Amino acid sequence: MSHIQLHDTESISRRLGFSENLDLPLEETKPTRWGIARLIRREVRRRGLVTRRELHKTIEPFFLAAGFDEDTGAIIREVADEMVELREIADLKVENQRGYAALASRWIRLSDNVAVLLGTTATEKDRFHSCHPMQFLRRFSPKADIIHDLEKAGVYEQSFDDWLGRPAWLRFCKDGEQIESLEELLSVHIDNLESEGAPFSKDSTSILAVRNQPGEFFGQPWDSGPNRWTSPSELPNGFYIGAQKGFRENQWHPLLLKISGDGCKSHFVNHLNSTADSFELRNWLLLALAARLGRRERMFVDHESSEFQITCPLPAPVFRCLTLAGEASTGWRYSVLNSRALVEKLNRSFPFIEFSAR
């Protein structure tokens, strides 16, 4: 004989993982990414292919049952897109709609004691920090018995380098260009600056430049507090990353600058007229410029707290690695499980960044 169980919204929320182990009362919380990711994996695993609309339509009743009646479409897309970024699921178009598809499940070893399971394989046992609402990745200790069980389910190890893929700056190279290093990509943009750059005055109020002072807080051009942005007239001759003010107060377009006594030039950093891609290219060129001058951009690491302090905008693959290994905490900080093991991997993958221990 079956038994009927009655649950209120709070117990349903906790069973779904939406407010699991959170100290705040339900009415003051938002659904955790852990619970949302579980439902996304379930739907992608069950269907193999699901549109955004279908995913939202399926998951929304769970939110309502758990007592979250606000618009949930944005947070579902946010978590799903971050799962795409970490290559847990694939992003594609389905009949002119955005959708998601299953990828082969695999696991990645971050250290001797920590590994991450990616994909939609049905197991929700382990996580980094059970009471942090931003965390959703499944982590486990890669012991022999667990590895054996995963292999029986067809889930095998993928190397960190294979997961990270080829250097991401290569996508900013044009077809036919024989560019083999980030330094060569910078040289191409400097050549374009020399040949196509627009002249400007050092004292122009619409252009600011970034001081080559790795380790100092980068900030934003519109910030009044301490940062690395300054007037080109304050800098010695050379090449710099900069920005030109747009029509709105906080709208600044990335530039590559040449500051010279006999004539300054500026050239927009632009990739396919995409704002996001243009700033991503700007971040790669920032690393290359610092390395060209023998002063790599810097990230501070506190091995005692296993925390990374970011000092400047970095390319997306760096943040992808930090998210794989941990989670954002406060400000430009990431907490990870094993900072020493991660630094070893990041040093190999991103030689243009200096990881300074504190």
pLDDT in tens, 132-178: 556 788 888 899 998 998 999 899 999 999 999 999 999 999 887 88
* Contact (Cβ atoms closer than 8 angstroms) between residue 115 and residue 142: yes
- Could you read off the pLDDT of 1-24 as tens digits, one per residue? 556 666 556 655 565 566 654 444
pLDDT digits (tens, 9 = 90+) for 105-121: 999 999 999 899 999 98
Q: Which of 120-129, 131-140, 216-225, 308-317 has the lowest mean pLDDT?
A: 120-129
Average pLDDT of the residues in 194-213: 90
- Annotated domain spans of the chain: 9-102, 106-164, 168-292, 297-357
68 pLDDT above the threshold of 80:
no
Q: What is the pLDDT of residues 343-356, one digit of tens each?
A: 999 999 999 999 99
Q: Which residue has the higher pLDDT, 34 or 254?
A: 254
Q: Mention every residue, 6+ apart, whose C-beta is less than 8 A from residue 347.
A: 355
Q: Is the pLDDT of residue 37 over 80?
A: yes
Q: What's the pLDDT at 66?
A: 65
Largest separation between any pair of C-alpha atoms in the chain: 91
Examine the pLDDT at 324 and tell me if it is beyond 50. Answer: yes
pLDDT of 261: 83
How far CA 252 is from CA of 69, 244, 288, 331, 353, in Å, comes to 37, 5, 21, 22, 25
- Whole-number pLDDT of residue 21: 47
Q: Does residue 123 have a pLDDT over 80?
A: no
Architecture per CATH, 9-102:
Orthogonal Bundle (1.10)
Q: Whole-number mean pLDDT of the chain?
A: 86
Model pLDDT, residue 163: 97
Query: Once rounded to an integer, what is the mean pLDDT over residues 272-279?
Result: 94
Buried b (16+ CB within 10 A) or exposed e, 28-54: ebebbbbbbbbbbbebbbebeebbbeb
Tell me what pLDDT residue 124 has: 58
The mean pLDDT of 64-72, rounded to a whole number, is 68
